[in-house]
Structure 1
Amino acid sequence: MAINELRSITTFIKAAELGSLRKAAQDLGISPQAASKALAQLESHLDARLFHRTTRVMSLTDAGQRLLEDVQPAVLGMQRALLNARAAKDEFAGPLRIAGPRTTFQPILWRLVEEFCEIHPGIQPDVLLEDRVGNWVEDRVDVGFRLGASPHEGVIARRLFPLQMVICGSPAYFEQHGVPETLGALATHRCSAFRHPATGKVVPWHIKLGDQTVDQPVVPAICSNDELFELHAVLAGKALGQLAGVTAAPFIRAGQLVPILVDHMPDIASYFVYFGSKTSQPARARAFIDLAVQRLVNNPDYVLSLEELLPMSSPGKRNAKD
């Protein structure tokens, strides 16, 4: 006969502790009838009488005493484990697994993790950085960051900020090679390109034409699967590059890079933070998500304003003003 063994055993232990089935039912929050049924099912399942019963007294039989000695430590251990699991869910300590892209987002994520660990020193961050789309369920990811739509169903997304793709070069490059004033003129210039680590393919430049964004392949003078290497090549004046705004922004603001062809800068995607249901998230994950939203949503440090782009969009114009 199939029975709810856990409920029956819990009822049995509580009745043995309190010496009363009625008190056991009250303590467990069930009806006396349900408690009596659970105990009767257990006795029938074991084919053994567990209690001597009178109208006033309830005492264990020999079989009941042996069963109590065998099952009580295990049930108490299980209850402690459940309490520990609930406590772990609500504490701001322990492991926190975070996934994000290796390129572009790495310095942003590091600053976020660093601040969170200063607030909660007991956190043990476990950060997975990769440009391929991993399986967040199999990888046991608590919080994930990604450019564009989530590859997984059943996750919650919160938009952080848009990704700008800025065509830019160094003042030294423009002094030596001149400034391309049109998209067609790019064909006569040295251009850098990014080779996607996951696919091995050269990523085309993304160009805005009217209301559409098109892919424009480039013949790379310099190509790398590392965005920082490409950044250094552009900073050194070896080529023009189309760089992520979050990467190029500090160098544009410092005058080390100059954006061009800003009218063709596309809005291709945004960064998102992804997570499961907040009710199932540990407190440390919820707190990290809240910090990410607070620090990153439309953060001007990572998004160049039109005012920052346009006055510098033509090196020739800027030099004329100077």
Structure 2
Amino acid sequence: MHSDDLILFSQVVELGSFSKAAELNNLTNSVVSKRIARLEKALNVQLLYRTTRKLTLTEGGQALFIKAQKVALATQEATNSVAGFGEAIQGHIKMSVPTISGELLLADAVAEFCKLHPGLTVDMSLNNQFVDLVKDGFDLVIRTGYLEDSSLIARHILDSHWIVCASPAYIRQHGKPQTPEELVGHNCLLYSFQTNGANEWEFKGDEQNYRVTVEGIFSSDNAIALRKAALGGHGIAYLPRCLVYHDLRNGELIDLLPQQVGKVIGVYAVYPFTRQLPKKLKLLIEHIRQRYLAIEHYF
């Protein structure tokens, strides 16, 4: 049994005629008839009742049609996934990326991609705000969070885990909280950029996540500023693990509640809806994805 015969069979059923399927595939009616007969012989079952006016599926034909549709769809998706890979990699890409990821790996990754493709230029903006792709003319955006605009396409790259951390000096002076609830008695450094509130920190519960309301004397919309404040021993911070990965490794910050923090946010490549994504964007997204996955342990 040939997969292309299955696809042809699904087309015959969908179009309702051998001649229309023949025309679609630039074949003769006799070739279509022979290939359907070949399929029936391979399966040892009649698939269609043929009359001069219409085609009717047999019981076996109906069962096969459902599967044949899936084969046709999978084949089309496979074709679409590589369509455009014969195009030249040239032109311009305007993109926006988060500040942390931009400084951590994307600036280097995108510059490397440009070097690999001399006919391409990229304008990369580091911005934590979720920009309006269409209005602001962006071709690609890398973002963490949730996609609300259904007119956009988002490809998941990986998940970013958050941690609660403090310096050894802070812990020596103020003690180490053993539970999320004990954070209430500490000076917490507040990330005012968080959409769910700077003082609402998320933790794992027995059945679902819950939030603890914390307080502190210092807040900022910049996570790097909070990292520096934590390194200085000025409080406890709730930050993306990738931002403080090396600080944790060298002991300058301590992960306080490693099994209890509940905040995990997806990292996505987001672009406007299009039936055929240009090759340059396909390759850039894959290049970025591979660079993220190479340091997945940071996240």
Cα distance in structure 1, aligned partners of 2:199 and 2:97: 19
SS in 1 for 2:99: coil
- Give the C-alpha shift of residue 226 in structure 1: 1.0
The superposition leaves residues 111-138 of structure 1 with CA deviations (integer Å, 9 ceiling, x where unpaired) of 3212212322333211233333222122
Match of residue 228, structure 1, among 216, 224, 229 = 224
After superposition, give the CA deviation of every residue in 1:150-172 in whole Å (9 maximum; x if it has no partner).
Answer: 23224332221212110011111
TM-score by length of 1: 0.60
Alignment of 1:257-276 (within 5 A): 257-276=253-272
In the alignment, which of 131, 144, 156 is matched to residue 153 of structure 2? 156
Moved more, 169-178 or 110-119: 110-119
Q: Check whether the contact 2:186–2:215 (CA below 8 A) recurs between aligned residues.
A: no
Moved more, 252-261 or 125-134: 125-134
Structure 1: tracts of 5 or more residues without a match: 1-86, 304-322
Q: CA deviation at 1:212?
A: 1.8
Matched residue SS, 1:243: strand
Secondary structure of 1:141's partner?
A: coil
Contact 2:90 2:120 in 1 (8 A): yes
Cα distance, 1:168–1:224 mapped onto 2, change above 3 Å: same
2:143 corresponds to 1:146: yes
Does the residue aligned with 1:209 lie in a helix, a strand or coil? coil
Q: Cα distance, 1:103 vs. partner?
A: 4.8
Which residue identity is paired with 1:217? T
Q: Is the 8 A contact 1:166 1:244 kept in 2?
A: yes
Q: Residues 140, 90 of structure 1: CA spacing in aligned structure 2 closer, same or farther, 3 A cutoff?
A: farther
Answer with 1 or 2: which has the greater Rg: 1
CA deviation digits over 1:44-97, x for unaligned, max 9?
xxxxxxxxxxxxxxxxxxxxxxxxxxxxxxxxxxxxxxxxxxx9x933233111
Instruction: Name the counterpart of 1:300.
Output: 296
Contact 1:207 1:265 in 2 (8 A): yes
| TM-score, scaled to structure 2 | 0.64
Correspondence for 1:252 among 215, 226, 248: 248
Cα distance per residue 1:22-47 (max 9 Å; x no partner): xxxxxxxxxxxxxxxxxxxxxxxxxx
Residue 281 of structure 1: CA displacement?
Answer: 3.0
* Cα gap change, 1:267 to 1:239, in 2 (>3 Å): closer
The SS at the match of 2:234 is coil
Partner of 1:207: 203
CA contact (8 A) 1:193 1:204 kept: no
CA shift in 2, pair 1:211/1:146, >3 Å: farther
Aligned residue pairs: how many? 215
Identity between Structure 1 and Structure 2 (%) = 24
Structure 1 residue 238, shift from structure 2 partner: 0.9
* Equivalent position SS for 2:137: coil
Q: Give unmatched runs, 5+ long, in structure 2.
A: 1-83
